[in-house]
Amino acid sequence: MTGNAPGVALAELAGLLADRTRATFCLALLDGRAWTAGELAAEAGVAASTASEHLDRLLAGGLLVQRRQGRHRYVQLAGPGVAELLEGLVAHAGPDPRPRGSLRAATASAALARARTCYDHLAGKLGVVLTDALVARGLLDGSAGFAFTEAGRQWLATLGPGAANHPPSTRRPLARACLDWTERRSHLAGAAGALLCAHFFDRGWVRRIGGGRAVRLTPAGEAALRDVFGVDPAAAGLR
Within-domain flag for 187: yes
Verify that 71 and 101 share a domain, yes or no: no
Question: What are φ and ψ of residue 235, in 5° steps?
Answer: -65, -30
CB–CB of 122/207 below 8 Å?
no
**233 in a structural domain:** no
Threshold 0.95, pTM exceeds: no
Question: Can you tell me the mean pLDDT for 169-193?
Answer: 84
Structural domain of 41: 2-78
- The answer as to whether 234 is a domain residue is no
Q: In this structure, are residues 127 and 133 in contact, taking their beta carbons and an 8 Å threshold?
A: no
* Amino acid present at 101: G
pLDDT digits (tens, 9 = 90+) for 90-115: 877 765 544 455 546 557 788 888 99
Query: Are 117 and 183 members of one domain?
Result: yes
Residue 32 lies inside a defined structural domain of this protein: yes
103/68 same-domain check: no
3-state helix/strand/coil string of 109-138: HHHHHHCEEECCEEEHHHHHHHHHHHHHCC
Instruction: For residue 1, name the pLDDT band (cuts at 50, 70, 90).
Output: very low
Whether 87 is in a domain gets the answer: no
- Residue 157 maps to a domain: yes
SS3 41: helix
- Considering its fold, how many domains does the chain have in total? 2
113 and 50 in one domain? no
Domain containing residue 74: CATH number:
1.10.10.10
- What pLDDT shows up at residue 170? 53
Among candidate residues 78, 112, 142, the one where a domain is terminated: 78
Q: Is residue 217 part of a domain?
A: yes
**Do 111 and 139 reside in the same domain of the chain?**
yes
213 and 103 share one domain? yes
Is 85 a member of any domain? no
